[in-house]
Structure formats: structure tokens, C-alpha cells
Structure 1
Amino acid sequence: MFLVDDILFFPAKSLVWVFRELHNAVQQEKTNESDALTTELSELYMMLETGKITEEEFDEREEQILDRLDEIQERDQ
């Protein structure tokens, strides 16, 4: 009887597994994007302190990065 149950429920279990894997992949991608933006922001601060970019360039790029981080946080909620 258990073998028949396994055979009958295999398609449903497979779909659940696929959707679970897709969800995990999306969550991992969000985490990676946040980490990359945080690293980029740190590098931007270093470039400003060392004089490689101007204050105006810094402000523009910082605003873009912070906006993207805000978008990610809003999507998570």
C-alpha cells in the first residue's frame, strides 16, 4: 500500500519540492544583492576618503545604493 501511495503522490511531492527550491533560490539572491550593495557602499566611502571621487559623485552614487537597499527591504516586508 505504501508503494502505491508513493507512486500516486510523487507528482505532487515533486511540485512542492520544485517550488521550495525556487523560494530558496530567490531568498539567497536577495541576500547576495544586499551584501553586494553594502560592500559597494563601503568601497564608496573609502573612495571618498582617499579623494578618488568628489563629494557630488559620492552623493549621487550613495543615493542610488541606498534607494536600492530600501527597495530590497520593502520587498522583504
Structure 2
Amino acid sequence: MLILDDILASPGKGLFALFREIHDRAREEIEGEGERITQALTALYGQLEAGEITEEEFEARETELLDRLDALWAENQDPEADDEDAWDGNEDENETEADAGPER
């Protein structure tokens, strides 16, 4: 009977292993995207310091990269996390710096 159970359960186990592998690869891709954005920000700061780009170009590209990083961060938040602990990017203008939540 034990062998029969193993035979009947093997397709499910194989499918589960396949889904686990897809999940792991997707997680690696997401983590890699964050690293690429961070590297692009570092390069952008270097270009500004070297005088290769203007302040306006820097601010536009930095805003774009930080928005992508924020979106990536928001997509990967634990849905079970407390809403009070999650930063939504909408700071109240009347909040003090200590009340504003996590820094970017």
C-alpha cells in the first residue's frame, strides 16, 4: 500500500517541485532587479560628480530609478505585515520627521 501511495502522489510532488523552482527563479530575478537599480544609481551619482550629466538630468533619472525601486519594494511586501509598519510613500505634510515612517 505504501508503494501505491508513493506512485499516486508522485505527479503532485513533481508539480510542487516545479512550482517551487519557478518561485525560486522569480525571486532571484526580482532580487537581481533591485541590485541592477542600485548599481544604476551608483553609476548615476558618479556621472554627476564627474560632470558628465547636468543636475536636471540627474534628478530626472534618479527619480525614475527611485520610483522603480519603490515599486519593486512595494510588490515584495509581506501581505501579512502590519499596515501600520508598511510605508506607502504618501507622507502627510504635517508629520514631523520622526513620525514620517521609514526613510527611502
| TM-score, normalised via structure 2 length | 0.71
Q: Distance in 1 between matches of 2:52 and 2:45?
A: 10
Report what 1:46 is aligned to.
Answer: 46
Q: Residue type matched to 2:24 in 1?
A: N
Q: How many residues align?
A: 77
Unaligned runs of 5+ in 2: 78-104
**Residue identity (%):** 45
Runs of 4+ in 1 over 3 A off after TM superposition: none
Name the residue aligned to 2:97.
Answer: none
Q: Could you tell me which residue of structure 1 aligns to residue 88 of structure 2?
A: none
Q: How big is the shift at 1:8?
A: 0.8
- Other-structure match for 1:57: 57
TM-align CA RMSD: 0.8
Between the aligned partners of 2:3 and 2:53, the Cα distance in structure 1 is: 67
User: How far off its partner does 1:23 sit?
Assistant: 0.8
- Look up the match of 1:21: 21
**Unpaired runs of 5+ in structure 1?**
none
TM-score by length of 1: 0.95
Question: Hey, what's the Cα distance between the residues in 1 that align with 2:38 and 2:72?
Answer: 12
- Please list the CA deviations of residues 16-55 of structure 1 after superposition, one character each: whole Å capped at 9, or x if unmatched: 1011111101110110000000000000000000000000
Shift of 1:3: 2.5
Does residue 4 (structure 1) correspond to residue 1 (structure 2)? The answer is: no
1:2 is displaced (CA, Å) by: 3.1
